[in-house]
Amino acid sequence: MADSGTIPTWHKDTIRENAMGPAHSPVWRHLIGLVPERDLTAHAVLDFGCNQGGFLRMLHAMRPFRFGLGVDIAADSVARAEALKGDLPLEYALTSALPDYPGRFDTAFSHEVIYLVPDIAGHARALHAALRPGGVYYAVTGCHTGSRLWPKWRDVIGGMTNVQVQDRAVDDYAEAFRAAGFDVGYRRFGFEGFVPFAGPSPYYDTADDRLYYLAEAKTVFRLVRRGH
């Protein structure tokens, strides 16, 4: 997420933008299944980089929570999220900063967003401030220099999106969050569902590339806020 102004959408192509939610649904479902906190009924939840709001809607359907806030810098996407929320306890904000939410959240998520953050140390400090002590941030990305797909993806994503990608290793993320005051744990995403065969794409040259990315390259950070 960029901190200098807003954009209309993440994708330059509106069709691709609208397809992101349905495409990510099986992945989001798997992520929710990895979260050990089963009862979120008393939790305030933050989704950083919410796009059109699909993740929070799915999370509430699977594990209801008290309140959810989605933030994003894509104006059209935030407007779409607001239109789709119905009577769910959700709000959406057009911002990438979190100065007005000190200690408000019990749990936070981001999915394939942190590789777009220009200032990862600043992002880590902001999320630390937004969470209550003991609060947990789940940050997911497979876009890192340890992925065999990254040399190609860096150029592909950079050409398709309105946001600049960043070159970082898993260690860079882990160190930034540890320095900000988090206890850092991480694991492979380990997607176990069946992956639909779709043939070559701009991202994947082979069927094996898809399996590799979802099972091995994609990394889940579990970041627990230290402090009082």
Whether the predicted pLDDT of 212 surpasses 50: yes
Instruction: Tell me which long-range contacts 20-29 makes (C-beta under 8 A, separation of at least 24).
Output: 20/51, 20/52, 21/51, 21/52, 21/54, 24/54, 24/55, 24/111, 25/54, 25/58, 26/191, 26/193, 27/111, 27/189, 27/191, 27/214, 28/54, 28/55, 28/58, 28/59, 28/111, 29/58, 29/62
**CA distances to 15, 18, 45, 118, 150 from 130, in Å:** 33, 29, 10, 19, 31
Query: Average pLDDT for residues 14-37, to the nearest whole number?
Result: 79
Contact by Cβ (8 Å): 106, 42: yes
Nearest to 169 by CA among 132, 202, 143: 143
CB burial class (10 A; 0-12, 13-18, 19+) of residue 194? Answer: exposed
Give the pLDDT band of residue 3 (cuts 50, 70, 90): very low
Residue-wise pLDDT for 36-51, tens only, equals 999 999 999 999 999 9
Question: Whole-number mean pLDDT of the chain?
Answer: 90
Whether the predicted pLDDT of 98 surpasses 80: no
Domains of the chain, CATH where assigned: 14-225 (3.40.50.150)
Which is more confident, 21 or 155? 155
What pLDDT was estimated at residue 6?
A: 74
The SS3 of residue 13 is coil
Residue-wise pLDDT for 150-205, tens only, equals 999 999 988 887 788 999 999 999 999 999 999 999 999 999 889 888 888 889 99
Give the pLDDT band of residue 149 (cuts 50, 70, 90): very high
What pLDDT was estimated at residue 20?
A: 58
Whether the predicted pLDDT of 12 surpasses 70: no
Distance CA 107, CA 131 (A): 7
Residue-wise pLDDT for 48-90, tens only, equals 999 999 999 999 999 999 999 999 988 889 999 999 999 999 9
Nearest to 46 by CA among 96, 105, 86, 87: 105
Enter the DSSP assignment of 37: -
Nearest to 220 by CA among 46, 27, 57, 43: 27
Contact by Cβ (8 Å): 139, 110: yes
